[in-house]
Amino acid sequence: MTAAVNAWLGVDTGGTFTDFVYYDGGDLRIHKVLSTPDDPARAILQGLEEMGLAEAATQGRLAVVHGSTVATNAALERKGVPTAYVTNTGLEDVLTLGRQNRRELYNLMPEVEAPPVPAELCFGVGFRTGADGQRLCSPDDAELQALVEKIRDSGVSAVAINLLFSFLDPEAEDRLAAMMPEDCFVSRSSRVLPESGEYERGIATWLNAWLGPRVQQYLGRLGDALGSAPVTMMQSSGGTIALEQAGEHAVNLLLSGPAGGLAAARYLGESLGEEALLTFDMGGTSTDVAMVREQVQLTTEGSIGPWPVAVPMVDMHTIGAGGGSLARMDAGGVLQVGPESAGADPGPACYGRGGTEPTVTDANRVLGRLPDAAALGGGLTLDRQAALTAFQPLAEAMGISREEAAEGVIRVANEHMARALRTISIQRGDDPRGYRLCCFGGAGGLHVCALAEALGMERALVPLHGGVLSALGMLVAPRERHLSRTLLLDVDDQTAARAEPALEALEQEGREALEAEGVQGSAIEATWSADLRYQGQSFTLNLPWEAGANLAERFARQHEHQYGHRLSAGVELVSVRIAVRAPAGEWQLPLWSAEKGVTDSEARVVGEPEPVPVRPREGLAAGETLKGPMLITEAVSTTWLARGWQAEVHQEGHLLLTRQPTS
């Protein structure tokens, strides 16, 4: 018999570190270990052993919430399983043709992209459903049996089924799925993404099939290793799903880790009374930027590598600039930082694990912003001499000192991140000066003041345990499902009456899915919305559903706000959407209490005429005000409080930064 759960563990597997946050209702502990990319479960088990939690997990007393990069890495590294694509006869080339978008518009000889599915694994079948949902033709049993034999002989491990208008009538896809070889992972578009757009729907269905077996294998190994521990997985939308169901929804796990950070940012914004946060998550390999306006913002226009991903995922912009990003001179003599990374092994030179090339982390170590007192993960000391040695060739190539080269690397990295922040805010019509900049990730605190200044922002937030905030987000994220269905209705007085039965059916489906995971029905909340567009448009705007409201007028106002104009054309309701979620529970960070006997120190920072104070974060008192320049160290990150900035220590331990007016 399984013991009752009395503690929770959030686990975020990143490219460089695997982060852990433990909470038992009173005690909160954090931990980091280096990731093991060849088998991420190994790092998780190592962390459990080092934290003394292995026995509690196997006995079922510890619940684990996990954000995984397995699906993401498999997609980016093209390591999915051999997959067959089944569609209507005559449409076998849809995934290869795509939308005919070009990455390099003026390149007359672009590099040829391999198609998602080789032509020999694309199969047509004689089903056909019309745009009104009526069945136009069906294949006979001989044709279906011949198709199954071809798929069996092809040796594939997965099958993606994508038929025209399957969102109106899924019966044909269900029939095909039932006939597929038993050892094949089968993915149906009517389950994965029941929406219009055969290309986007097909890619989502293929990704789900292509990655599904890999994800299932990993989750199976992890589940076996954790024994009786209940495990849930973070989804790309910022909500969690039970381990047993997650393997069937691989395409919904592509932004599993980064979504955890935004779930935590939403929780912090709510607890601090901050409705508008501009976030940047700077880890070892990349930086993710996003906006949180009361809720985590979602998009159905995301991508992974060259492929669109039309399932709901957190709306973020990712660039290859992180603490491990490599610095080099290009052929034209210009300093470049990233996107190549030193990764977890060997990592930056200052890790002392064999790295020899200069990185952003090495630059911060050279400049003294990572002082001698800093120890990543609480135990990894940083070798400044190794960082200086790594910078020597770059400095010689630039004809400057190593310190000047390090400053150049920091400026270039900051500009990459500032540009990403402008993309997610200014280019979408939002003024970042009305937001508070929230940084997290192990390297975020070192760059937060410079980035805020670059965007003209005067307020910032460095959360407590910001270096493991994505793991914290795993614990505060709700159980959640996002469901949708295309209806294609002209907007008139009867639209709501025709759309609401579909919304009610989706809500019931979502509630049943959560209740099957053990969620109490009374705890489940549902949010309705609809995608609308002007007739003739390709893209939609999503609006919250308001009973009795004038849909056409609401859409026109939103269109005018976002694009600066409205049209006289008719309005069309394309799809309806439902989000059902249950809160993670009563979750409250403990009040901050400074440790006694903590010793402050000083450090030399390049560019500062005098040594600057180095304050261990655990020794800061709630309500205390700190003035820059200052270094604030903790086990999982370091904050550089620049000159002209001050920080107030919040009652929960967060640092609320404010830029001081110049005299």
pTM of the predicted structure, to 2 decimals: 0.86
CA–CA distance, 375 with 268 (Å, rounded to integer): 26
What per-residue confidence (pLDDT) applies to 502?
A: 95
What per-residue confidence (pLDDT) applies to 634?
A: 87
Residue 490 has pLDDT above 50, yes or no: yes
Residue 379 has pLDDT above 50, yes or no: yes
- According to DSSP, the β-strands at 307-309 and 302-304 are antiparallel
What per-residue confidence (pLDDT) applies to 180?
A: 96
Region 523-544: what's the mean pLDDT?
A: 94
Q: Which residues pair with 481 in a beta bridge?
A: 580
User: 553-574: buried (b, 16+ CB within 10 Å) or exposed (e) per residue?
Assistant: ebbbeebeeeeeeeeeeebbbb
Query: pLDDT for 301-320, tens place per residue?
Result: 888 888 999 999 999 888 88
What per-residue confidence (pLDDT) applies to 590?
A: 82
pLDDT category at 2 given cuts 50, 70, 90 is very low
pLDDT category at 377 given cuts 50, 70, 90 is low
What per-residue confidence (pLDDT) applies to 112?
A: 82
Distances (CA, A) of 501 to 344, 481, 554: 51, 18, 21
Distances (CA, A) of 16 to 32, 173, 188, 282, 568: 10, 41, 35, 12, 52
What per-residue confidence (pLDDT) applies to 1?
A: 34
Q: Tokens 């994220």 correspond to what residue?
A: 477
Query: pLDDT for 179-227, tens place per residue?
Result: 999 999 999 999 999 999 999 999 999 999 999 999 999 999 999 999 8
The reply to whether 479-582 shares the fold of 7-75+216-256 is: no
Percent of the chain exceeding pLDDT 70 equals 98
Tokens of 517: 């995971």
What per-residue confidence (pLDDT) applies to 115?
A: 93
What per-residue confidence (pLDDT) applies to 66?
A: 95
Region 536-543: what's the mean pLDDT?
A: 92
- For CA atoms 394, 398, 402, 408, the dihedral sign is negative
Query: pLDDT for 429-477, tens place per residue?
Result: 889 999 999 998 878 999 999 999 999 999 999 998 888 888 999 999 9
Q: How much is the mean pLDDT over the chain?
A: 91
Q: Does the domain formed by 7-75+216-256 have CATH 3.40.50.2000? A: no
Domain 479-582, what fold? Dna Ligase; domain 1 (3.30.1490)
Domain borders along the chain are 7-75+216-256, 78-212, 479-582, 601-659
What per-residue confidence (pLDDT) applies to 27?
A: 82
